[in-house]
Amino acid sequence: MPEPTIFELSSPGRQGAYFPEPDVPRTEIPEEILRDNLPLPEIAEVDVVRHFTRLSQLNHGVDTGFYPLGSCTMKYNPKVNEQTARLGGFAKIHPLQPVETVQGAVGLMYELQEWLKEISGFSGVSLQPAAGAHGELTGVLIMRAYHKSRGDHKRIKMLIPDSAHGTNPASSAMSGLKIVEIPSDARGNIDMDALCAECDDTLAGIMITNPNTLGLFEEKFMEVCDCVHEAGGLVYGDGANLNAIMGISRPADCGVDVLHFNLHKTFSTPHGGGGPGSGPVGVTAELAPFLPGPIATVIDEGGEEEPPLYGLVNPENSIGRVKAFHGHFSIMVRAFTYMMMLGGEGLKAVSEHAVLNANYLQARLRDTYKIPHDRICMHEFVAEGHWEDVPDVHALDISKRLMDFGFHPPTNYFPLIVPEALMIEPTETESKETLDAFADTLIQIAEEARTNPEMLQTAPHNTPFGRLDEVKAARELVLCCWFPEEEED
């Protein structure tokens, strides 16, 4: 049953929140600056609560069920994170307060920077970027600034593997770079010959996701980095898949020069129905002077009695701000809480079990679904959602049918290099029972594809909504609610 829109629930004269009468004398407001009408809805508090509660019930979240959305790391979001982020000392501080009054907050940022360095092996971290793609743009701008600082102006070429997230080429293009796509080889690795052929003196660098979007660790990762470095290029690491390698392999040790972290993937901060995320950037010592500020730092070490004094500084050759203020601070608090609880050993266990879970699911599905690059995977893997004997059933149908059993579908039709891709990332927080139930369901769906394909093609059946008409939405654009007629005031 669709929920009425908030405008349809409106009745003139209702209100859901009230404010006191002014305790100061009123000042006349000049007529010419005033608006004529304000067509916002009018609703009582209880009905606002019911409306948004009912809406929430139409959503699938990690809290309601398994969410194996590849490349998104939909792990459990610990409840305590929500509690710590809302502590008064974090939620009620203004970003422009004197730094002496926010030593706890700046100190937390400093520690978080240090911990991210420790996990990745980098020398510098800026917490400013707001999300993964924002971190990418920041990283690419840093690479550009580095080359330019050396008078090396002809480096305008960015190599991007064909398995990359769409944000990689988009971020490079925003920085004015020319994108050259590098194909993958039969084992799902970057094609070395194609790569080396492009490594010349116009090379700015490469954007590489490792493990890649097939869930595979690049078998010649060090060679790729060496080849790019020898040509004078830099290696950008897309940290979207960091959940596979914490305490196992450090990007900086392998030759990565810049990397963004996704605090909302790897470090358990919630995805919020599409953000907010947080996309800190880590860099080598050589690139650290270019980081966007402000960066939390120790101004004075303090002593036995005195705590250290923290401050916020701008690196000397900073590319400049990428947003207002200091980044998504309350997301940092959540990630910090998570890392504090896990510690170094715990984070390593996270990655080990993320990889264990993915390999287990892959093993359970291997006989039913084609795994085009079938080897030990990392934290995710890609299967084909299509069989030759039932050509009219597609990955989309399998995805929609999964919803009938209470599962969120995997990422589908990505990466682009696998036809009918189903990209499955279980994460470490799922139990064997959940994985088994999911595998059993996928196996049952494969059987249904043969016995009752229509069941898949018309799915979902048990959800509050059937398939939505996306073509109609794009053709007959309706982008906002119908406003009720303005009544005379």
Q: What is the DSSP letter of 381?
A: E
Span 298-337, contacts to another protein by CB under 8 A: 319-331, 333, 336-337
Q: Which is nearer to another protein, 303 or 388 (CB)?
A: 303
Minimum gap (Å) between residue 473 Cβ and another protein = 4
Give dist(CA 413, CA 408) in Å, integer. Answer: 15
Place of tokens 């303005």: 486
Q: Which is nearer to another protein, 23 or 388 (CB)?
A: 23
Write the Ramachandran bin of 406: left for phi over 0, alpha for psi from -120 to 50, otherwise beta: left
Torsion over CA: 160, 166, 169, 175 (sign): negative
Q: Is 472 in the site for another protein (CB under 8 A)?
A: yes
Torsion over CA: 289, 293, 298, 300 (sign): positive
Q: Is 31 in the site for another protein (CB under 8 A)?
A: no
Q: Are 283 and 257 in contact (CB under 8 A)?
A: yes
Q: Are 281 and 142 in contact (CB under 8 A)?
A: yes
For another protein, the binding residue among 6, 309, 437, 455 (CB under 8 A) is 6
Q: Which is nearer to another protein, 22 or 388 (CB)?
A: 22
| Among the listed residues 408, 427, 409, the one whose alpha carbon sits nearest the alpha carbon of residue 64 | 408
Minimum gap (Å) between residue 389 Cβ and another protein = 26
Give dist(CA 409, CA 396) in Å, integer. Answer: 9
| Among the listed residues 156, 159, 121, 415, the one whose alpha carbon sits nearest the alpha carbon of residue 259 | 121
Q: Is 64 in the site for another protein (CB under 8 A)?
A: yes
Q: Which is nearer to another protein, 333 or 446 (CB)?
A: 333
Alpha carbon distances (Å) from 357 to 181, 234, 288, 367, 425: 31, 33, 36, 17, 9
Q: Which is nearer to another protein, 108 or 446 (CB)?
A: 108
Q: Are 85 and 334 in contact (CB under 8 A)?
A: yes
Q: Is 455 in the site for another protein (CB under 8 A)?
A: no
Q: Which is nearer to another protein, 231 or 332 (CB)?
A: 332
For another protein, the binding residue among 110, 221, 267, 438 (CB under 8 A) is 221
Minimum gap (Å) between residue 400 Cβ and another protein = 7
For another protein, the binding residue among 192, 196, 356, 437 (CB under 8 A) is 356
Minimum gap (Å) between residue 392 Cβ and another protein = 17
Q: Are 239 and 260 in contact (CB under 8 A)?
A: yes
Span 256-275, contacts to another protein by CB under 8 A: 264, 268, 270-275
Q: Is 27 in the site for another protein (CB under 8 A)?
A: yes
- Single out the segment in contact with another protein by CB under 8 A; choices: 193-201, 282-290, 442-450, 466-474: 466-474
Span 120-179, contacts to another protein by CB under 8 A: 121, 130-134, 136-137, 141, 144-145, 165-167, 169-177, 179
Span 409-448, contacts to another protein by CB under 8 A: 409, 411, 414, 428-432
- How many residues sit in the footprint of another protein (CB under 8 A)? 204
Write the Ramachandran bin of 215: left for phi over 0, alpha for psi from -120 to 50, otherwise beta: left
- Single out the segment in contact with another protein by CB under 8 A; choices: 30-38, 193-201, 383-391, 440-448: 30-38
Residue 236 CB burial class (10 angstroms; 0-12, 13-18, ≥19):
buried
Span 185-214, contacts to another protein by CB under 8 A: none
Place of tokens 């009468």: 21
- Single out the segment in contact with another protein by CB under 8 A; choices: 48-56, 227-235, 280-288, 297-305: 48-56
Minimum gap (Å) between residue 129 Cβ and another protein = 9
Q: Which is nearer to another protein, 382 or 450 (CB)?
A: 382
- Single out the segment in contact with another protein by CB under 8 A; choices: 190-198, 230-238, 442-450, 455-463: 455-463
Buried b (16+ CB within 10 A) or exposed e, 195-205: beebbeebbbb
For another protein, the binding residue among 183, 302, 344, 419 (CB under 8 A) is 344
Write the Ramachandran bin of 306: left for phi over 0, alpha for psi from -120 to 50, otherwise beta: beta
Give dist(CA 127, CA 422) in Å, integer. Answer: 33
For another protein, the binding residue among 123, 226, 229, 348 (CB under 8 A) is 348
For another protein, the binding residue among 125, 182, 355, 383 (CB under 8 A) is 355
Q: Residue 315: count other Cβ atoms within 10 Å of its Cβ.
A: 19
Q: Which is nearer to another protein, 278 or 284 (CB)?
A: 278
As given in the structure block, the two tokens for residue 467 are 């398939």
Q: Cα angle vertex 154, ends 150, 157, to 5°?
A: 115
Give dist(CA 151, CA 94) in Å, integer. Answer: 40
Minimum gap (Å) between residue 181 Cβ and another protein = 9
For another protein, the binding residue among 68, 102, 231, 291 (CB under 8 A) is 102
Q: Which is nearer to another protein, 344 or 450 (CB)?
A: 344
Span 68-97, contacts to another protein by CB under 8 A: 69, 72, 74-78, 80, 82-97
Q: Residue 125: count other Cβ atoms within 10 Å of its Cβ.
A: 25
Q: Which is nearer to another protein, 132 or 239 (CB)?
A: 132
Radius of gyration of the chain (CA): 25
Minimum gap (Å) between residue 338 Cβ and another protein = 8
Give dist(CA 294, CA 285) in Å, integer. Answer: 17
